[in-house]
Amino acid sequence: MKVPINQFEDGCVIGDFVIKARLGEGSIGAVYRATQISLDRTVALKILSPEYTNAKGVSDFLREARAAAKLSHVNLVQALAVGEEDGICYMAMTYIKGETLKARMKREKNIPVDEALHIIQQVGEALYYAWDESGIIHRDVKPDNIMITDDGIVKLTDLGLAMHHAEWREDMEISGSPSYMSPEQFTGEKLDTRSDIYSMGVTLYQLLTGVLPFNGDTVRTVARQHFEQEPVSLTKLNPKIPHKVALLVKKMIAKSQEERFADMEELLYNIWTIRQKTAPNKDMVPDVHTISMKRLDYEVQHESIKEQQTAKKQAIEQKKQSSAIYTVLLLLLPVFAIILLVMVLNANQKSKRIELMKQQQSYLSKIFAEKNVERQFVLAEGKRVLAQFGVPQSPDEEALLYKMQTSLSNYENRALQSDLASFVEAQKKLQEDFTALREKQAAEAKKPKRDDSKEKELELEGAKLKQHLQDLQSSINNVKNENNALRKQLEKQVSEAEEAWRNNLLLKVYNLVGQARLKEASALLELETAKADPKNAEWLAAKKAWIERLAKILSSLTESGVKAAGLVIENECTLISINNGRISYKDPSGTIKDSIWTELSMDSAAAIAQKMAKTLKDEEVRADILALKGNFSEASRLLPEDQDFKVAARMLWQQALDNLKYLSLADRKKATAKAQALLKQAEGSPDYEKVKTELAPFLSFE
């Protein structure tokens, strides 16, 4: 059975979002077009790359989310939601229909003077707002991070390197794109809005000329140019560029912060002044800080006055329509408030239920520890508390119930061990009594015979002793039988507890493996090894060796370099290079393509791993690659002798079904979407019909 784990393909569900297509790469993660299930809208979903799932990577990603969430401006991409699910960090943003400035420059080479100023003016307004509102510096302004919508509005994207000016430290890492970085970014000096002005100047230079002012072969060369070299004059590259525009750019990219514009507002006023001369119609140039009120396409500046008046009338009509919409929204506001209140009450009720479970768990822990409380009462109380909550309604409740069940089981184990010790002691006492009676009987037999009355008396006493010995032997046999039964019951419970521990550890480790979080899996195994029973040491050592093997395979598929360059995969491709998990290759037609390693065919991925890790068998490599993708059922088919793969596949599938069950109680629509994604990922699997049957209750919600 195929168990999907964190494969970002069409139909994959993460949080409240269904992935539709990959859009590109950001500073610390990939961006996908996705649909938000609850609101049925298209969004851009940024997902933190696996190589950044360490403390710093997650911190940077959350910093980006916080920076974007603080800001709401027409020239900034709006953050809509941020969250984490199964170790995957994500942020949803407004989906922009348009193209990047880089794509447009690639097509048109350079941009007309006033239109370039118009674009930079909008970027400047976004950065002025970010600095004025929250003291935030972007640190990575460049054409890749500037989008132009289909309506002609400029949007500044990718706050992945954004930094609050108060967060600056002398030991901070250097961040940014070398060709656009200010000199102070290279040296790690304190940054402010003038650093963004420098990057805007480099971008404007490129827009006007089609080339970068500083463009060396290495980062070291580019850095030296930023510090020491003056760029070629704009008017020399393009004599049609006005002298004032050339001076504007020169001041923006001055080496010293003090020689640049003092702040974004001063820059914007200078741009506005210059555009009074460069614009086809100066009346269409928006005033400083009012640009959001005049978001017309640049080409509108070439329209006739009549067309402009028509546009104004349409704007007035649109404003009236917006007012009507606001009125409807105000009428619907009480309804939304009631829905929100119901949701809050429901969440509060769940919170109270979990709090009650925690109190009951604490109560059980106390009575389990008491020595003077009757065992029957304790067992009855444990069963009563467990029965009180019935079926768990969330993973948190399931975890609490599991802890209570484990505590009750441990109490019963201790009680059985105590009974066993008592029976052993009783058996020892009976054996001592039996031996004493035998010795007494033997001593009596050795005594000289007495008269008949004494003889009869001795016979009667001997018969009594014999009967007593028989009774003692019967009691000893009963104790032995009960002792054996208790020993078997205890051994069974110990075996079940050990199996539960091993399965629980397998579930955690294989969940991490399926997300390529191998360092965390290794750390978890080290922690368990330190406190585990010595008899499990060999099994744990084998798991740690397997994780090390997986790390070598993952490294071969993601580590940047050209070690595998020239590798020919028959009928598929010729490898060129690997760069942080993205693999460049030439297909049979000679076309150069670029894919992430999870999108490669199994033959291609296995061939790369075999070249880098030559000691492994082919079926082991293929099974390990499937494990890194989270497909443990297929891995178990390749290595049928590995029982852990089978156990993991079964448990992970059951976990997926349990999660669907919990989700369906709160959000049936989302549960259906997840079920559809699971069914799609099972297509082609021998277990497809079985999967379809098990998912049927969740698919029928529609």
* Same domain, yes or no: 76 and 113: no
- Output the pLDDT for position 270: 94
- Output the pLDDT for position 5: 41
Residue 367 is assigned to a structural domain of this protein: no
- Helix spans in 89-112 (H): 101-108
Q: Which of 508, 529, 560 is the last residue of a domain?
A: 508
Residue 313 is assigned to a structural domain of this protein: no
* Same domain, yes or no: 631 and 663: yes
Residue 156 is assigned to a structural domain of this protein: yes
* Same domain, yes or no: 552 and 687: yes
Residue 248 is assigned to a structural domain of this protein: yes
Does residue 95 carry a pLDDT above 80?
Answer: yes
Q: Is the dihedral of CA 177, 180, 186, 191 positive or negative?
A: negative
* Same domain, yes or no: 177 and 277: yes
For the chain, give the mean pLDDT. Answer: 77
Mean pLDDT of 607-614: 76
In this prediction, residue 83 has a pLDDT band, given cuts at 50, 70 and 90, of confident
* Same domain, yes or no: 135 and 158: yes
Does residue 282 carry a pLDDT above 80?
Answer: no
| CATH number assigned to the domain comprising residue 26 | 3.30.200.20
Does residue 362 carry a pLDDT above 50?
Answer: yes
- Output the pLDDT for position 218: 80
Residue 211 is assigned to a structural domain of this protein: yes
Residue 297 is assigned to a structural domain of this protein: yes
* Same domain, yes or no: 551 and 607: yes
The answer to which of 158-172, 338-352, 456-470, 636-650 has the lowest mean pLDDT is 158-172
Residue 343 is assigned to a structural domain of this protein: no
The residue with greater pLDDT, 85 or 301, is 85
Does residue 471 carry a pLDDT above 90?
Answer: no
- Output the pLDDT for position 296: 41
Mean pLDDT of 30-55: 82
In this prediction, residue 53 has a pLDDT band, given cuts at 50, 70 and 90, of low
In this prediction, residue 693 has a pLDDT band, given cuts at 50, 70 and 90, of confident
pLDDT tens for 588-598 read 887 888 888 88
* Same domain, yes or no: 90 and 107: no
Q: Residue 39: which domain range?
A: 13-94
- Output the pLDDT for position 207: 95
- Output the pLDDT for position 55: 61
- Output the pLDDT for position 351: 62
Please choose, from the candidates 596, 611, 599, the residue with its C-alpha nearest in 3D space to the C-alpha of residue 565. Answer: 611
Does residue 469 carry a pLDDT above 80?
Answer: no
Exposure string over 46-68, b if 16+ CB within 10 A, otherwise e? bbbbbebbeeebbebbebbbbbb
pLDDT tens for 415-432 read 777 777 777 777 777 777
Exposure string over 195-226, b if 16+ CB within 10 A, otherwise e? bbbbbbbbbbbbbbbeebbbebeeeeebbebb
Q: Which of 273, 302, 331 is the last residue of a domain?
A: 302
* Same domain, yes or no: 555 and 675: yes
* Same domain, yes or no: 688 and 653: yes
* Same domain, yes or no: 478 and 454: yes
Distances (CA, A) of 22 to 440, 511, 559, 581, 678: 93, 24, 22, 15, 19
Does residue 368 carry a pLDDT above 60?
Answer: yes
- Output the pLDDT for position 396: 65
In this prediction, residue 123 has a pLDDT band, given cuts at 50, 70 and 90, of very high
- Output the pLDDT for position 610: 81
Written as one string, the DSSP assignment of 440-486 is: HHHHHHHSPP--HHHHHHHHHHHHHHHHHHHHHHHHHHHHHHHHHHH
Report how many domains make up the chain: 4
pLDDT tens for 233-279 read 999 998 999 999 999 999 999 999 999 999 999 999 999 999 998 88
* Same domain, yes or no: 257 and 221: yes
Q: Are 517 and 50 in contact (CB under 8 A)?
A: yes
Q: Are 173 and 191 in contact (CB under 8 A)?
A: no
* Same domain, yes or no: 579 and 463: no
- Output the pLDDT for position 304: 39
The residue with greater pLDDT, 530 or 306, is 530
Q: Which of 60, 76, 94 is the last residue of a domain?
A: 94
Mean pLDDT of 482-492: 79
The tokens describing 400, both together, are 């609490």
| CATH number assigned to the domain comprising residue 232 | 1.10.510.10
The answer to which of 157-166, 262-271, 565-574 has the lowest mean pLDDT is 157-166
Residue 176 is assigned to a structural domain of this protein: yes
Give me the percent of the chain exceeding a pLDDT of 90: 14
**Amino acid, single-letter form, for residue 206:** Q
